[in-house]
């Protein structure tokens, strides 16, 4: 899985969750539910953040469909 974020380490005990483009996905930093900020429908990139730890990340539709 490819994340566009800094300092990402996947938690060892994190359950496997099917991620979907256009929906909020779990935080790659802490595993808490993420918040979907924006979807760029031209470049097919979604931008998210974590309300728990403040981490921000982005993923492309192609990256999410390859999971």
* pLDDT tens string 1-41: 445 555 555 555 656 677 889 999 999 999 999 999 999 99
- Taking the whole predicted model, whether its pTM rises above 0.95 is answered as no
41 within domain boundaries: yes
In a domain, 7, yes or no: no
Closest residue by Cα to residue 46 from 54, 29, 34: 34
Count: domains in the chain:
1
Beta bridge partners, 60, equal 45
Does residue 8 fall inside a structural domain?
no
> Is residue 2 included in any domain, yes or no?
no
Question: Is the residue at 42 inside a domain?
Answer: yes
The tokens for 36 are 């979907």
Cα angle at 56 between 2 and 32, to 5 degrees?
85
Does a structural domain hold residue 1?
no
Range of the domain at 66: 19-67
Across 1-67, the runs of DSSP E, i.e. the strands, are 35-40, 45-49, 56-60
């Amino acid at each position: 899985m490819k994340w566009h974020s800094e300092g990402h380490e996947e938690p060892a005990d994190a359950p496997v969750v099917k991620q979907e483009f256009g929906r909020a996905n779990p935080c790659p930093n802490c595993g808490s539910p993420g918040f979907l900020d924006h979807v760029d429908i031209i470049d097919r990139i979604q931008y998210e953040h974590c309300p728990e730890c403040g981490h921000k990340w982005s993923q492309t539709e192609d990256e999410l469909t390859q999971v």
